Structure 1
Amino acid sequence: MQQRPRVFVAGHRGMVGSAIVRQLEHREVDIIVRTRDQLDLVDQAAVQGFFAAEGIDQVYLASAKVGGIHANNTYPAEFIYQNLMIEANVIHAAHINGVAQLLFLGSSCIYPREAPQPMSEQALLTATLEPTNEPYAIAKIAGIKLCESYNRQYGRDYRSVMPTNLYGPHDNYHPENSHVIPALLRRLHEAAVRGDQEVAIWGSGKPMREFLHVDDMAAACIHVMNLDEATYKQHTKPMLSHINVGTGEDCSIRELAETLAKVTGYSGRLTFDTSKPDGPPRKLMDVSRLTSLGWKASVSLEDGLRNAYGWFLENESTVRV
């Protein structure tokens, strides 16, 4: 009887990792997870010991230190150090212990601040990064290059996907250190409950952003992981092997805030604080490579926001902050 593949999901308590676990539960695999208390991925010896003992077949590397503009500006050392250590430890230990397949999850912030829109995979390392999250972006670029280097030198099949801005169940709802959707959703919900007449939003509201529901992201990850190697290589290059994951559509921060106000029932006035940084003027992914591999997003923005808000309401007392 053939043994079921043993699949390690690193970061299973996070938004993306938990979504991947939910979808893997419907497949014929053994899901292996560890909490941070059980396995600190920053600890090289602990990671090596784990892989040596567990006989892992596949790895979804979804563990990372993440946050919005404020968090990236405030904690740059933690963002670059922790992310570099996690990916280096996991990818090297996977190689040393003969793991056949690994999927590394990066971020759209790897692309230059002024990258031509929509951003294609070819834009990587062509110009200057966005200063507000440069340390995090550099760590994620290193993760891509780690995968490419182990593939190139040792013939591994380690792949990378670059998601656009994600949202959904198990997001981080910290009022300052979270990304734009959970931060705004929580603030507008609380403003609606209090009956506030005005909510001030960081920046001008003009930047354009693309958003992908985390269930779509998980589905894309599993799709890319399970492509046969010949098909994957046919659509990538040895030193340009990452794949963008997104919807291929964007909206302004103002439009996002208006949709969130509708979803949360907030009827007050939205104002925009132009003294706060906007970040890049536009971030839209070119997803033609992923489309050619047979996958596209299926969750609309408003439907996805309603799903996220429903989860938030169900979990408000224990929501991750």
Structure 2
Amino acid sequence: MTISDDVAYSPAPLDRSALIYVAGHRGLVGSAIWRNLEAEGFTNLIGRSSAELDLKDRDAVFAFFREHKPDYVILAAAKVGGILANSTYPVDFLSENLRIQVNVMDASLEADVERLLFLGSSCIYPKFAAQPIREDSLLTGHLEETNDAYAIAKISGILQIQAVRRQYGKPWISAMPTNLYGPGDNFSPKGSHVLPALIRRYDEAVSNGESVVTNWGTGTPRREFLHVDDMAAACLHLLENYDGPEQVNVGTGSDVTIKEISEVIAKVVGFEGVTEWDTDKPDGTPQKLLDVSKLAGAGWTSKIGLEDGLRSTVDWYHEHIDSIRQ
């Protein structure tokens, strides 16, 4: 069956009693989405840990969908990591994410899932894209080399969403979040993104009585940070209010330098020492600020301020310091 992408569909409130499968429900994004859905009155959520269901196992994924037949799917499952992890294990980031996405989307198609939201990353955009980055800058330039494998996997996910819309007329959509942080983040020294890595580094310096913290790069790159609870709220809003083939940027519309965010984190954790910069280490993309006009046009803007969000994240980190990933 082939149906053009202009098939009639009017976004509307989701059925609060419908079965929603949140793929990756224990991760940073997935757990926030789960919390938000529960708070919004959804009563029939389903999730599986990676130990219970390996999304790279195609047969297992199809069996799961045939058994449960979810009405809606939010695809938040992914292999993620920071600059070090991405640049060290590009094969893993490409292969694992491609398999996860293809398996879940193909199984969703067979199960006739009504509405699916695919979550990507702002790293899909060219390294030197004009700022702020518009959705239509996708595939217009070279990617950042340190995470190009992960970016290609996520770009493939967007194209699969668009292909499903064209061929089958499904009102599936994609959302591309900026840098996320918040409760449930990965604070591992080798696998974390920049913000949780900085929180851990400064907090450990305070605990160990150290007077100097050394960060990677020059501190000049600019980054946009969105609290994961804001991201979760945006996901539901898009599912209920947006339908289109183009991915939607999800962010705050403002950014800070790595040096500036380091100063805020040092203040929040109580570090009063000196910050030094190891300029032999890579900076990554010089700036990544998303144009969030499309999201604003759909009626949503972020609510959680950066310092407030950081304080709640540090509080969560302290509460879970004995159990977080090492």
1:255 equivalent in structure 2: 260
1:25 equivalent in structure 2: 38
2:279 paired with 1:274: yes
2:55 equivalent in structure 1: 41
Aligned pairs for 1:168-317 (under 5 A) are 168-227=182-241, 232-233=242-243, 236=244, 238=245, 241-317=246-322
Describe the SS at the equivalent of 1:157.
Answer: coil
Contact 2:16–2:42 (CA under 8 A) maintained in structure 1:
no
User: Residues 193 and 94 from structure 1, CA distance in 2 versus in 1: closer, same or farther, beyond 3 angstroms?
Assistant: same
Contact 1:71–1:177 (CA under 8 A) maintained in structure 2:
yes
CA distance in 1, matches of 2:16, 2:133: 41
Worse-superposed segment, 170-179 or 246-255? 170-179
CA distance in 1, matches of 2:299, 2:43: 23
Worse-superposed segment, 25-34 or 241-250? 25-34
Give the CA deviation at 1:55: 1.7
Name structure 1 gaps, 5 residues minimum.
Answer: none
- Residue type of the partner of 2:143? L
1:117 equivalent in structure 2: 131
Contact 2:183–2:316 (CA under 8 A) maintained in structure 1:
yes
Percent identical pairs in the alignment equals: 52
Contact 1:166–1:213 (CA under 8 A) maintained in structure 2:
yes
Give the CA deviation at 1:193: 1.1
Give the CA deviation at 1:226: 1.6
Root-mean-square deviation (CA), in Å?
A: 1.1
Contact 2:120–2:154 (CA under 8 A) maintained in structure 1:
yes
CA distance in 2, matches of 1:176, 1:187: 12
- Residue type of the partner of 2:301? K
CA distance in 2, matches of 1:76, 1:317: 30
2:23 equivalent in structure 1: 10
Give the CA deviation at 1:63: 0.3
Name structure 2 gaps, 5 residues minimum.
Answer: 1-14
- Residue type of the partner of 2:131? Q
Give the CA deviation at 1:29: 3.4
Query: Paired residue for 1:136, among 150, 153, 166?
Result: 150
Contact 1:171–1:320 (CA under 8 A) maintained in structure 2:
no
Describe the SS at the equivalent of 2:172.
Answer: strand
CA distance in 1, matches of 2:145, 2:196: 23
Describe the SS at the equivalent of 2:301.
Answer: coil
Q: Deviations over 1:75-114 (max 9, x none)?
A: 1010000000000000110001110000000000000000
TM-score normalised by length of structure 2: 0.94
Give the CA deviation at 1:56: 0.3
2:3 equivalent in structure 1: none
TM-score normalised by length of structure 1: 0.95
CA distance in 2, matches of 1:32, 1:283: 34
CA distance in 2, matches of 1:179, 1:278: 13
Describe the SS at the equivalent of 1:173.
Answer: coil
Aligned pairs for 1:51-62 (under 5 A) are 51-62=65-76
Contact 1:170–1:320 (CA under 8 A) maintained in structure 2:
no
- Residue type of the partner of 2:254? E
Describe the SS at the equivalent of 2:108.
Answer: helix
1:98 equivalent in structure 2: 112
Q: Deviations over 1:226-246 (max 9, x none)?
A: 22xxxx34xx4x4xx100000
Contact 1:198–1:269 (CA under 8 A) maintained in structure 2:
yes
User: Residues 52 and 303 from structure 1, CA distance in 2 versus in 1: closer, same or farther, beyond 3 angstroms?
Assistant: same
Contact 2:179–2:225 (CA under 8 A) maintained in structure 1:
yes
Give the CA deviation at 1:167: 0.3
Q: Deviations over 1:254-300 (max 9, x none)?
A: 00000000000011100111000000110000000000000000001
Aligned length: 311
Contact 2:125–2:138 (CA under 8 A) maintained in structure 1:
yes
CA distance in 2, matches of 1:4, 1:114: 44
Structure 1 residue ranges, 4+ long, deviating more than 6 angstroms after superposition = none
2:160 paired with 1:155: no
CA distance in 2, matches of 1:3, 1:13: 21
Q: Deviations over 1:39-94 (max 9, x none)?
A: 11000110001111102000010000000100001110100000000000001100
Give the CA deviation at 1:3: 8.8
- Residue type of the partner of 1:304? G
CA distance in 2, matches of 1:263, 1:28: 35
Aligned pairs for 1:67-82 (under 5 A) are 67-82=81-96
Contact 1:109–1:130 (CA under 8 A) maintained in structure 2:
yes
Describe the SS at the equivalent of 2:322.
Answer: helix
